[in-house]
Amino acid sequence: METVIDYIDRVLTRGLDAVVILLAGLLLVLLNYAVFTRFVLNESVSWSEELPSHLLATLTFVGAAYLTRTNEHIGFDGVIRLMPKAMQKAVFALNLMAMTVFGATMAWYGTIATLSFGSRALISIDLPMALFRGAMPLGCALIALICAVRLIALLTGRLSADDLLPETDA
């Protein structure tokens, strides 16, 4: 039977997947629209650089949380694979602890930074800056949450060290 945590995990993963697809598609459409207006209509849109670069930053942090969930961030597994299983487990537990602290710290300072921008809008288009800057604390908070849940799962035996070996294909 599906537990509450499993349900949240499933919804969260689907949500992150949808946002990543949406942002990649949106960037594709917006950039082509900007090219169309510049070369065909001979009139550049004002947001042609600022909006895509902010959307890319949004994709970065939301996508980073998604990749943390799917364990697809690249890493080097040459040394860790040589360690005995018990040692691998201890090392991964320490890693997850450090990653949780990192995510939480970045979420905290990201929130402070986002709030400091108040109601300021982007320069070229009337969209609140917090909409984009908020992706950093949100993504990092999710990273902290995902790592903390994985740490508990690892320590309680619901997750093995093999499940946490890093992706090695860039």
Partner 1 sequence: MPIEPGYLILILLVVLVCTGMPIAFVLGVTAMTMILLDPAVVPQIMGLIPFGGANNYLLVAALLFMIAGEVMNQGRIAEKLIAFASALVGHIRGGLAHVNILTSLFFSEISGTATSDAAAIGSVMIPQMKKRGYPVAFAAAVTSTSATMAIIVPPSLNLILYAYVADSSIAQLFAAGILPGIMVCFLLMITAYLISVRRGYPVEHAFAARRVLSTGKDALIPITLPVLILVGILGGIFTATEAGAVAALWSIVLAAVLYRTLTVSRFVDVLRVAGKRSAMLMFIVATSTLLGWYLTNQRIPQDIAQAILGISDNYWVVLLAINAFFLIAGTIVHGTPAILMLVPIFLPLADQLGIDRVHFGLIVTINLGIGQQTPPVASVVLITCAIARISLAAIIPSMLWFIGAMLVALLLVNLFPALSLWLPAVIL
| DSSP reduced 3-state for 66 | helix
Q: Which stretch binds partner 1 (CB under 8 A): 1-9, 70-78, 151-159?
A: 70-78
DSSP assignment, residue 159? Answer: S
What dihedral do alpha carbons 90, 93, 95, 96 form, nearest 10°? 170
Residue 11 or 28 having the CB closest to partner 1: 28
Which of 7, 10, 49, 163 is in the footprint of partner 1 by CB under 8 A?
49
* 79/166 Cα distance (integer angstroms): 12
DSSP assignment, residue 165? Answer: P
- The residues of the shown chain that bind partner 1, judged by CB under 8 A, are 17, 20-21, 23-25, 27-28, 31-32, 34-35, 38, 49, 52-54, 56-57, 59-64, 66-67, 70, 72-80, 91-92, 94-95, 98-99, 101-102, 105-106, 108-114, 132-133, 136-137, 164-170
